[in-house]
Structure 1
Amino acid sequence: MELPANVFKFKLAAKAADTPLYGCWLGLANAYTAEIVATADFDWLLIDGEHAPNTVVTILDQLRAIEPWPAAPIVRAVNHDPALIKQLLDIGTRTLMVPMVETGEQAAALVAAMRYAPAGIRGMGAGVIRADRWGSVADYATRADDSLCLITQVESKTGVDNVEAIANTDGVDAVFVGPADLSTNMGHVGNPGHADVQASISHVLDVTQAAGKAAGILAPAEVDTNRYREAGFDFIATGLDVVMLKTAADANAARHRGGLPAADRSTY
């Protein structure tokens, strides 16, 4: 059996220079809703293990639900724990996002957690893991790196200061900006549009792309999506399933209780 391809890496390599890959955050921790979103025309979907009530098992269920569809799955770990990273890789995660990366040393440790010895410390589970199709992928241990992708999140002033070391770490494929955490860490709570925050975001973008790596960002507001697309980000999260459901539910309830103009109510 062939080594499973990393669809996200393939899409990044194949995309037009001026057209980012658009994605959606999955925070409902449910395979059924993940499959619904997978039928939309997103390039990638992020299964959130940091702020959603996910476990390794619920993440596995969502990977299975998304797999038949074109959208490339990404899994975000809750932390840097190499034991958890091992489990996420073993269940078939091929693109891993890790939050709060602040130094080159942390980035290198994450790379090591994703690689087998002698290049890393990933525990060997050959023959009993979904990633190698339970022993059906020949030489999986020596070829696994070809199917893996590591995205490091820069979400603090320290991370911005050290982004050159992070982006230039061998084994890091992309750097993703978290505007909410970054603005909060910089003292501009709830204001990622602040000039200082925007300057830091531009710096991360420039340094990351200068290192030959892809740069991504979360931008559910359309004005931000447009701004970051024009800036040249390679992949952008434009939606969050939790927010989309909440927004639609609020609008529906308001429409039928008279909270919206009659013209709006009639369009449902």
Structure 2
Amino acid sequence: MIESAKDAEKAVSYCRFLSDGIRGSAHTVVRASNYRINEGYLSNYVEDLLIMFQVETLDGVKKVEDIAAVEGVDCIQMGPLDLSASVGYLWDPGHKKVKEVMGTAEKGVLKSDSKNGGGAFLDGLAMPHDPPAEIGKRGYHMVSGAIDIGLFRNAAVEDVRKFKITLKADSDGEDDKDDEKYWSE
């Protein structure tokens, strides 16, 4: 939830070691340095960083060009659900006003990308009201489809559904009300 260039500068500093930032220096015990096997990690770690911020409030949208212009910001991801709440249409990211605000933010990020040969890339989430092809037409550089927790939830719900079917098939016509109550989602 980045809402200003100052927020973005601070967040970038959390990703970088001293003297470029304030990240803790336990580089010898992190996976990115191969647990210190990569002796050159400190001299080239910045090249491997991908720093992404999410703009998900009206305040962030108002300052999105400034946020995208901050040195070290690689990508701005739009947060349609939180943005819809910020605009006053909780859980309605397809609402006309939300789409207008989203469009303003998108144009601001894309404008930063065209300045001086580059700026932050634009990333977004495909949703039922906003499929990947439409997002792509608007100039997005990256489009995310399913989210891991949603995939996990769907797999768990499907597993429970299959289990219920198995329970019903195995029962000898007994009353399954207790099972239904126990296995309800």
Same fold per superposition (TM over 0.5): yes
Counterpart pick for 1:182 among 47, 69, 83: 83
Distance 1:200 1:211, change over 3 A: same
- Give the partner amino acid of 1:119: D
Counterpart pick for 1:164 among 58, 65, 71: 65
Work out whether 1:133 is the aligned partner of 2:40.
no
Per-residue Cα deviation, 1:42-79 (whole angstroms, up to 9, x for no partner)? xxxxxxxxxxxxxxxxxxxxxxxxxxxxxxxxxxxxxx
Query: Aligned ranges for residues 29-44 of structure 1 at < 5 Å?
Result: none
Work out whether 1:235 is the aligned partner of 2:142.
yes
Q: Which residue of 1 aligns with 2:92?
A: 191
Taking structure 1 as the reference length, what is the TM-score of the superposition? 0.53
Query: Aligned ranges for residues 83-94 of structure 1 at < 5 Å?
Result: none
Per-residue Cα deviation, 1:126-169 (whole angstroms, up to 9, x for no partner)? 43322211222223222110110100100000000110111000
Residue pair 1:221, 1:238 contacting (<8 A) in 2 also? no
Query: Aligned ranges for residues 29-178 of structure 1 at < 5 Å?
Result: 100-178=1-79
- Give the partner amino acid of 2:42: A
Counterpart pick for 2:110 among 173, 185, 209: 209
Distance 1:247 1:104, change over 3 A: same
Local SS of the residue matching 1:136: coil
Residue pair 2:110, 2:139 contacting (<8 A) in 1 also? no
Segment drifting more, 133-142 vs 210-219: 133-142
Question: Unaligned 5+ residue runs, structure 1?
Answer: 1-99, 258-268
Aligned-residue Cα RMSD (Å) equals 2.4
Distance 1:129 1:197, change over 3 A: same
Residue pair 1:126, 1:134 contacting (<8 A) in 2 also? yes
Residue 182 of structure 1: how far off its partner (Å): 0.2
Local SS of the residue matching 1:217: strand
Local SS of the residue matching 2:92: coil
Rounded Cα–Cα distance in structure 2 between residues aligned with 1:243 and 1:147: 28
Per-residue Cα deviation, 1:70-110 (whole angstroms, up to 9, x for no partner)? xxxxxxxxxxxxxxxxxxxxxxxxxxxxxx11111010001
Distance 1:161 1:229, change over 3 A: same
Residue pair 1:116, 1:123 contacting (<8 A) in 2 also? yes
> After the TM superposition, which segments of 4 or more aligned residues of structure 1 sit over 6 Å from their partners?
none
With a CA cutoff of 8 Å and minimum separation of 6, indicate the structure with the bigger relative contact order. 1
Distance 1:131 1:122, change over 3 A: same
Per-residue Cα deviation, 1:15-59 (whole angstroms, up to 9, x for no partner)? xxxxxxxxxxxxxxxxxxxxxxxxxxxxxxxxxxxxxxxxxxxxx
Question: Unaligned 5+ residue runs, structure 2?
Answer: 114-119, 169-185
Distance 1:202 1:146, change over 3 A: same
